[in-house]
Structures are given as structure tokens and as C-alpha cells.
Amino acid sequence: MKNAFQLFFALLVTVNSIFAQEQFTVTGKVTDAATHQALSGASVFCQNTTFGVITNADGEFTIRLPKGGYDLAVSYTGYQSAEMRINSNTTDPLLLELKAKDKSMDAVTVAGSNEVKDGWTKYGDFFKEQFFGTTANAEQCELLNPEALRFFYSKKRNRLKILVREDLQFINHALGYKVRYQLDSMTYEYATQISTYTGYPFFETLSGTTEEDAKWKVNRNKAYRGSKLHFMKSWYDSTIQQQGFALERVNPNAKTFESVPLDNYYDSSFYQSDSGSVDISLTGRYRIIYRNEMPDPRFVSVNKLPSHIKVQLSILDIQNEFAIEENGYWYDQADLVNTGYWSYERMAEAVPYDYKPN
């Protein structure tokens, strides 16, 4: 009996040790940048995850995270938001100082702006298409506070710019998430028909019935498969081919669209593992092929592709070297621009970094 107890205790210690190694803890304090007073009730969350906390009476917070990389975002009413990149090597307490918003500048901006009256009536459906996408999941996304949006149209630049008064909130009834999105801005260039937007989403997993949970489980898995997050995790894990992907370099000098498969996706000349992250020293344009799932018929139709196409095709423009963390987080995110299927699947298909596929 004594030996059995010792064996059980040893196994328990081993399991707890492994679990501890898979997570890390970040602590810090949020203060006013001018007065250095603590900000109680500030929102601290890791963007694109379900991990978030509120600062206590002393402006302090503690957040426990799975190993990987994150953009830690902090927001507080009346203050400019702040962000900081963190990962498993972040051990020292953080100090995040927020600057108060200059309300006078907002007044000048509004007074001299070309804000569209009844902007939601004119551009609401267009915004939802650009933000949520046009997939079946997009039709099940419910924007809770459309009044937060402000629309500005510049006739001279032929550009639509969208700003917000507060965080956007929406429910994705297809995936079972409530999302709070700190939208910095969205811009649509009519000349090129290209839209760009930046911001920080925070996911809250919904509680549903047994039937809803089963539906969400299937839909989340489908949304994850073939996504940019799925590909990044596969590149980190050195399982690109096993996961159904292929990576090809696009010939920049060809008159027609040509691409050549990379001989080795993990060649040490550009793929190096260092301190838990993988550094990718590649630049240029690449084609990403995903073979394990058919493309959405809507995507095929809109882009006038052959009806017999059986793979999802995305184009990834790598403008600078970047790194991939264990959880699939990559940085700098602005250095990777994607078009094609990844661009077609927008916020309606998004799952958080901490999503665990079946």
C-alpha cells in the first residue's frame, strides 16, 4: 500500500509539473500616465483570446496564460488604449501607463470632418460585409451596438473611413462567441476595392443548450481548419504537409501567375527555433494551398474560379522577417498581408488563439 501511494504521489507531482510548465503568469499595474494614480477597473486582456481580467483597487492584475505569445491590451474609459507584446519569457511585473484622451481634439475633428449623416443607414450593410464577411456564418453575426460606428467619406480621395465611439460588441451565433472588438479604424479604398482594419478582439465563450454546444463545436472546428491560425501552428509544429497545407513561392518575374513549391519548409537557412518561438527569415509572395476542405461555393462564384476547384487558395505577402509563437501567434502581424481565401474569411470565421481543435 505504501509503494502504491508513493507511486500515485509521484505521478501527481509529475502531472502538476507538466501542467505548470505549459502555462505562465503575467502580473502588472495600470496607472494614469500624468498623475501615476492607480486605475481600478481597467480592462486587461490578450487580444484574440478568451483571457481577460479587471484591475483591482490598486490597479493591479494577474493573468495566467498557456505558453505562447500575445498582444496584451489595456483599456479604460476616458483614456487611450495601450498594448504590449508578451510571451512565456515575460517574467517581470508590467507597468502600463494610460494617457487621458484629448476631448478638444475630438471636437475639432468632428467640426472639420466629412462625417456622413445617417451613416449606418447608408453604409451599415456594407460595413457588415467588410467586417464579418459574406459567408454563411456572417449571416449569423449580430452587431449589438451599431450606434457606436461613425462613417466618414472623402470624395477627393474616394475613401470611406469608419471610426467608433466605443468598443464594438457582437454575437457570433454560428460559433458561440460574444466578441468585444476595439476597432481602431476601417478604411475602404473604392479605387482598389481594398478594405483594411485594425483592432483587438476579445472572445467570450457562450453557454448554450446541448444542441447548441454540439453545433458550435462542429462550426468552430470547420472555421479553424485551413485558417491562417491553423497554418501558423502547423509551421511552428513542422506539420505543414500532415495538416493538409502546401507552401509555394510565387515567381515575381513571371507574366502569368506561376509558383514553385519550396523543397523544404523547415530549411535552416530561413527556419530557426529559438527560445520557444520559430523565426522565419523569408520575404516575398507565397501561395498557400489547403487540400483538406473544399472552398466555399460563394468564394468560387464571386472570384469567377473554375467550378471544379477542390482546394482553398490564399496569397501571403511577407514584407519582413517574422516569428511564430507556440500558440500560433505571429509578429509583427502588419508584416504579413493576405489575400485570397484567408481574406474572404473574416471575423465571422475567427476563433481565438486558445481554441483547441478536435
pLDDT of residue 302: 86
User: Rounded distance, CA 252 to CA 230, Å?
Assistant: 26
Identify the CATH homologous superfamily for domain 2-101.
Answer: Carboxypeptidase-like, regulatory domain (2.60.40.1120)
How high is the pLDDT of residue 256?
62
pLDDT band at 105 (very low <50, low <70, confident <90, very high): very low
pLDDT score at 17: 38
**Contact 180/202 with Cβ under 8 angstroms?**
yes
Q: What is the pLDDT of residues 192-223, one digit of tens each?
A: 988 888 888 999 999 999 999 999 999 999 99
Q: How far apart are CA 47 and CA 25, in angstroms?
A: 16
Asked whether residue 84 carries a pLDDT value surpassing 50, the answer given is yes
Mean pLDDT of all residues in 84-103: 92
Tell me which H or E stretch contains 17. helix 2-21
pLDDT tens-place string over residues 296-342: 999 999 888 888 899 999 999 999 999 999 999 999 988 999 999 99
The average pLDDT across 62-79 equals 94
Q: How many residues does this entry show for the chain? A: 358
Question: pLDDT tens across 219-248, in order?
Answer: 999 999 999 999 999 999 999 999 999 999
Residue 8, Cβ density class (10 Å: 0-12 exposed, 13-18 middle, ≥19 buried):
exposed
3-class SS letters over 295-307: CCHHHHHHCCCCC
- Res 16: pLDDT: 43
The mean pLDDT value for 270-279 works out to 91
Domain boundaries, the chain: 2-101, 104-205, 225-349
- The pairing of strands 23-32 and 94-98 is parallel
Mean of the per-residue pLDDT values for the chain?
A: 90
> What digits encode the pLDDT tens for the residues 131-167?
999 999 999 999 999 999 999 999 999 999 999 999 9
- The pLDDT assigned to 10 comes to 43
Contact 45, 199 (CB under 8 A): no
